[in-house]
Amino acid sequence: MDIKCAVILITSASSIFGRALALHYARLGARLILCDQDETSLRQITLQCQTINPDVHYYPMLSTSAQEVDALFDYIERTYQQTPDVLINHWPNAPFPSFLSEHASTQFVDQWNRLTANFFSFGYTCAERMRLSGVKGVIVNVISYNETLEMAGIESAASMVAGFTHSWAKELTPFNIRVGGVIPQLVTEPEFSHGMMQCDELTRHTEYIVANEYFSGRVVSA
């Protein structure tokens, strides 16, 4: 896919990695829609991107409910007269409780349900819009973490991303919709420089998946 002028939706765009994604694709000339629930930070990253590429819009979300997700895609279709060509389905990992901690079961279920629901809701809605409009699109599922604390449970989250990516790709291939995944490698030292390098590597991997017409059903790590 030619990234320049493609309509790309980036979720969690005000997070550390979301901002890196937004700036990267703005430099590549894509038409961007950035969404998140933190409107102040979302507006800030949008303004940064607009200094590089004026064709960047943002959509503050009240929640990630099905109704809100539908409203977001309606907004995109009104703005660009089409559904997105690409969904960067990015969600930062939330630290999962220790298996031995008190109330671990309730905390784990709540956080797991929230994370899986976000991935699924955006992926499902985008795939349905692409399928109905005949868009040969790309969905890239990405998990990230901002701090060492958020690495807790990253293996479980990575397995979920891999499972979604494989199963969605099988179902969507007949509709010329590709699905790929990117997961971070675990690091042993919380070095700032390594974190920045990881953002750069993760971003390059998402670009490779979007641009490579033969990439689907696979997950890469960075």
Q: Which of 49-58, 145-154, 177-186, 189-198 has the lowest mean pLDDT?
A: 189-198
Walk me through the domains of the chain, giving residue ranges and CATH numbers: 7-221 (3.40.50.720)
Q: Look at 51 and 154; give whichever has higher pLDDT.
A: 51
Tokens of residue 214, six digits: 């033969």
**Is the confidence at residue 114, as pLDDT, over 90?**
no
Name the nearest CA neighbour of 90 among 156, 11, 166, 157: 11
Q: What is the pLDDT of residue 150?
A: 45
Arithmetic mean of pLDDT over the chain: 89
C-alpha span between 123 and 191 (Å, rounded): 32
Q: Look at 5 and 110; give whichever has higher pLDDT.
A: 5
Q: Look at 125 and 149; give whichever has higher pLDDT.
A: 125
Q: Which amino acid is at 220?
A: V
C-alpha span between 180 and 156 (Å, rounded): 18
Q: What is the pTM of this model?
A: 0.91
Q: What is the pLDDT of residue 14?
A: 95
Confidence class for position 198, pLDDT limits 50, 70, 90: confident
What's the pLDDT tens digit per position in 16-71? 999 999 999 999 999 999 999 999 999 999 999 999 999 999 999 999 999 999 99
125 Cβ neighbours under 8 A, 6+ residues apart? 66, 69, 70, 73
Q: What is the pLDDT of residue 31?
A: 98
User: Exposed/middle/buried for 108, CB within 10 Å: 0-12, 13-18, 19+?
Assistant: middle
